[in-house]
Amino acid sequence: MNKNPYNGFINIYKEQGFTSMDVCAKLRGILGMRKIGHAGTLDPMAEGVLPVALGRATKDIDRIGNGTKVYRAVMLLGVSTDTQDITGTIIVEKEVPAFSDEEIRAAADSFLGTYMQLTPMYSARKVAGKKLYEYARKGIEVERKKKAVEILSIVIEDISLPRVTFTVTCTKGTYIRTLCSDMGDRLGPGACMEELTRLAVGDIRIDTALKLSDVERLRDEGRIGEVLWIASDCAVALGKFDGAHMGHERIFRKLMTEAQRRRLRTCVIMLDLGDGYIIQRDEVKRELLSMGMDYVIRLRLGKELMAVSADDFLKKMLMDRYGMKVLVAGEDVTFGYKKEGNVHFLEANKEKYGYNFIPVEKLRLKNGEAISSTLIKRIITVGGMEEAEQLLGKPWSVTGTVVHGRHIGTSVLGFPTMNLEMPKELICPPFGVYAVRLSFLDRDGGETETYDGIANLGLKPTVSADDIYKGRIWLETFVFGYEGDAYGREIRVKLLRFIRPEKKFAGIEELREQLLGKDVEEARQFLAVYQEGRRHADEKTLVFSADR
């Protein structure tokens, strides 16, 4: 399945003892994704703001890392080390004179403006393809050129000799431990850096930084989208998008057209109310990313987010956090406290806040009924899988990992089956037997091997009486012609036609006769003529009557 489920930047509070790459590695485990990078290295002894790019945001890292940075440092006078910080080997120790506050401040102020700084040997900067610290660890001193950096401000906060605490604002590439060492040399006794906290990178502040434990909690609550932000100007599509159906696709096509015309990134924001999805959340996100969307962000509409005013949601979230310059949305879009945000609100505020708003009219059938999530849910819940496919633009499906069942199929019925537990977030079609097409998936959710089959959706009334499966909804698929071990593999099962309702049989033999006789025959006849992608609705064709 998709190994990059999140796209955007997240503000991490790097704690002492971790390298910046350690933080990325831990986030890969927490978020279950591969593509993660950081903007601006912090040494293991340092703590504070570490902007981290998730998924497709990694291509925008330079937009973050090039910003000015703010640090709070503690300089220890009289101690010089080979690393220029307290973790290194002490080279020289000198007595510290009783400097006046004015002398300390004057030394600090002498570094204001552009200053030529020599890159420390213990650093990740590369020379001849190798990082400087690799040479340093072997005792090799490499010739380096000084580099111009800019110190925008230095504020002395506390002088308790031999320690001096100060806050510095500087440009990218400034080594604060080198600044401490140079200030110590200018004063005379030398110095090293004892503590370092990064307070800000550009507009990214320490008061909004999250510890790794906070990220775990937000992941479990489904609220990661609330803390992500985007570093590029975007065209944004806003809506529930709980099925990515053909009505939604009309919005997505308009979004991509506007983004291309205005040279903006694309961002789809999914307003998530919880259960009742037509298509699984991760599947919707996968489809959107495969369409070429740059960012897909899910916002769980819990109590906190639903209490946000429409004005704050528009300005502080859509514009400030997600870089919105253009908003594309359906004519029934709502957001903010008591759904104050709507088409009229967006039209009324576009000049005030300087964005473009493009409302998209609903796609309708010839009978005038709008293609909507409500309509499609109604069709699916009565088993109209073929009609639903036309309006979704794809077959309705369930995706998941094959799990062990009771092995009734192999040991009793005489044929193996693949079991998926129905995701609780999904709406559920009628219990019963379906003609299906099953595909094994690669790690990114792409389909590889594909097989026809039949599947039973329901509670297993014939074979599950008092076991652990009772009361749980299962999709159990018999795959035609498949031989092998599928346990633990990711599959997608497309329910193409409803054959019959679920029923309780007198025994296993009667069940076997029904499945391998009538059910398989009807499924094979249907699947022999079925062609996926040839039955979809479009804006000019009436495919079926939606009167229900």
Strands 234-239 and 324-330: parallel
For 66-85, how does the pLDDT look when each residue is reduced to its tens digit (9 = 90+)? 779 999 999 999 999 999 99
For 299-342, how does the pLDDT look when each residue is reduced to its tens digit (9 = 90+)? 988 888 889 999 999 999 999 999 999 999 999 999 999 999 99
Over residues 401-407, the mean pLDDT reads 75
Write down the residue that tokens 């650093």 correspond to: 123
Q: How far apart are the first and last CA of the chain?
A: 36
Instruction: Give the pLDDT of residue 414.
Output: 56
Instruction: Give the pLDDT of residue 325.
Output: 97
Per-residue pLDDT at 531 exceeds 80 = no
pLDDT band, residue 541 (cuts 50/70/90): very low
Helix, strand, or coil (residue 73): strand
The two three-digit tokens of residue 182, written as one number: 């140079």
Q: Which residues pair with 153 in a beta bridge?
A: 169
Rounded to whole angstroms, the Cα distance separating 363 from 250 reads: 8
User: If you ran DSSP here, which 8-state letter would residue 514 be given?
Assistant: I
Kindly state the percentage of the chain with pLDDT values over 70.
89
**488 burial type by CB count under 10 A (0-12 exposed, 13-18 middle, 19+ buried):** exposed
Q: Parse the chain into domains and list their residue ranges.
A: 8-65+210-220, 69-201, 232-360, 395-529
Q: Does domain 232-360 have CATH number 3.40.50.620?
A: yes
* Residue 43 among the catalytic residues: yes
Instruction: Give the pLDDT of residue 533.
Output: 53
Same fold, 69-201 and 232-360: no
Q: What are the residues whose beta carbons fall under 8 Å from the beta carbon of 546, sequence distance 6 or more?
A: 365, 367, 369, 375, 379, 387
Instruction: Give the pLDDT of residue 469.
Output: 54
- Find, among 50, 40, 52, 39, the residue nearest to 16 by Cα: 50
Instruction: Give the pLDDT of residue 346.
Output: 97
The amino acid present at 301, given as its one-letter code, is: L
The two three-digit tokens of residue 114, written as one number: 């552009």
- Find, among 86, 111, 99, 81, the residue nearest to 188 by Cα: 99
Q: What are the residues whose beta carbons fall under 8 Å from the beta carbon of 366, sequence distance 6 or more?
A: 542
Helix intervals (H) in 310-462: 310-312, 343-353, 373-380, 385-392, 408
Rounded to whole angstroms, the Cα distance separating 484 from 469 reads: 24
Instruction: Give the pLDDT of residue 101.
Output: 96
Q: What is the CATH number of domain 69-201?
A: 3.30.2350.10
For 187-229, how does the pLDDT look when each residue is reduced to its tens digit (9 = 90+)? 999 999 999 999 999 989 999 999 999 999 999 988 898 899 9
The helix (H) or strand (E) run that includes residue 493 is strand 490-501
Q: Does domain 395-529 have CATH number 2.40.30.30?
A: yes
**286 burial type by CB count under 10 A (0-12 exposed, 13-18 middle, 19+ buried):** buried
User: If you ran DSSP here, which 8-state letter would residue 410 be given?
Assistant: I
For 341-392, how does the pLDDT look when each residue is reduced to its tens digit (9 = 90+)? 999 999 999 999 999 999 999 999 988 999 999 999 999 999 999 999 999 9
**540 burial type by CB count under 10 A (0-12 exposed, 13-18 middle, 19+ buried):** exposed
Catalytic residue among 22, 43, 203, 538: 43
Per-residue pLDDT at 435 exceeds 90 = yes
The helix (H) or strand (E) run that includes residue 62 is helix 61-65
Contact 266, 234 (CB under 8 A): yes
Average pLDDT score, the chain: 88
